[in-house]
Amino acid sequence: MKVTDTRRLKRAKVELTALGMGSAPLGGLYAPVPLADARAALSAAWQAGIRHFDTAPMYGLGRSEHLMGELLREETEGFVLSTKVGRLMSFERPGRQLPAEAQKNEFDSGWHNGLPFREVFDYSYDAILRSYDDSRQRTGLGRLDILFVHDIGKVTHGERHDHHWQALTRGGGFRALEELRDGGLIAGFGLGVNENEVILDAMEEADLDVCLLAGRYTLIDGSAAEALLPRALERDVALVMGGVFNSGILASSSGRKKYNYVDAPAEILAKADALEAVCREFSVPLPAAAIQFPMRHPATGNVVIGAKTATQVKQNVAWFEQDIPQAFWTSLEDKGLIPAV
């Protein structure tokens, strides 16, 4: 399997390279990223043949979209750009009080290179259209290909979920996305989340094309295989798979303590040890298996993974293209460590 292999999305009718470039790290997630490193990472992705780039207003509170635009404005064509809606960038000034939706959510670790804005959750009709316009301005691009509704769901919003869900459904958020698609301004839309159930719910509310699912179809967590992947295949809704390292526990064979942004519990550590034992048996690096695993399912459009440096991009490419024997996957299935395909 090569990074440059492509899969054509049945509904959005765009082609995604098998490996996509995520950009949360470039916004300063967990640690600052110097401008030179960020530019070099994006350049390395382009040179490797990656042509799907994923970003979001949230990543660096606008920084990531600016960086993506700087690269892609020079290329003008031959790429697919996805970004997200659901958060507006705002700021405080005398006499202006930000709404409750501007409160920091517990899953936001902060942005070390973030721009001086505050995120405000808003999934309404007007906010979706404004978010589209704002992303066009930040990237400076003539088009955006895919819009993902970012982090809608109970895990992120808790008791505020119903309020935001109503804005997206009855309040016209989905209608705005449909108008953008019908008008040819985007190729398709869906959700960008880390919850299986909310994508299933959204399929009953809107005519989705493609969704980004983080962390729910990985070597550690195969829960998407139970209901979501079969439904996505049935509806021709492609799934872009992110979070393949589950916050780091699958990124290396040592020092893996984080799972889904928090310290990994004992049962997760035990499963990681079991996976690593099979990896040693077949001489397969654990991160290579983690990156390639989602591509085995026909519902997967591609895998998106972020990086902070050109070296990390090149390592991700090497892991993605490393030969892994079928016997390795069969062994994991037989041991009940991954769901059968």
Mean pLDDT of the region 17-39 = 95
Query: In this model, does residue 140 exceed pLDDT 90?
Result: yes
Which pLDDT tens digit goes with each residue over 40-59?
Answer: 999 999 999 999 999 999 99
**In the predicted structure, residue 254 carries a pLDDT above the cut 80:** no
Lowest-confidence segment of 104-118, 266-280, 325-339 by average pLDDT? 104-118
Residue 286's contacts (CB-CB under 8 Å, 6 or more residues apart) are 250, 252, 253, 275, 276, 279
Mean pLDDT, range 246-261, rounded to an integer: 75
pLDDT at 91: 82
pTM score:
0.95
Q: What is the pLDDT of residues 288-319, one digit of tens each?
A: 999 999 999 999 999 999 999 999 999 999 99
Where in the sequence numbering do the catalytic residues fall?
54, 59, 84
Domain ranges of the chain: 6-334
What is the reported pLDDT for 100?
A: 66
Taking only the tens place, the pLDDT of each residue in 30-41 is 899 999 999 999
Residues 6+ apart with CB under 8 A from 184: none
If pLDDT is split at 50, 70 and 90, which confidence band does 102 have? low
Containing H/E element for 36?
A: helix 35-47
Angle CA 321–324–325, to nearest 5: 145
Its CATH architecture, for the domain 6-334, is: Alpha-Beta Barrel (3.20)
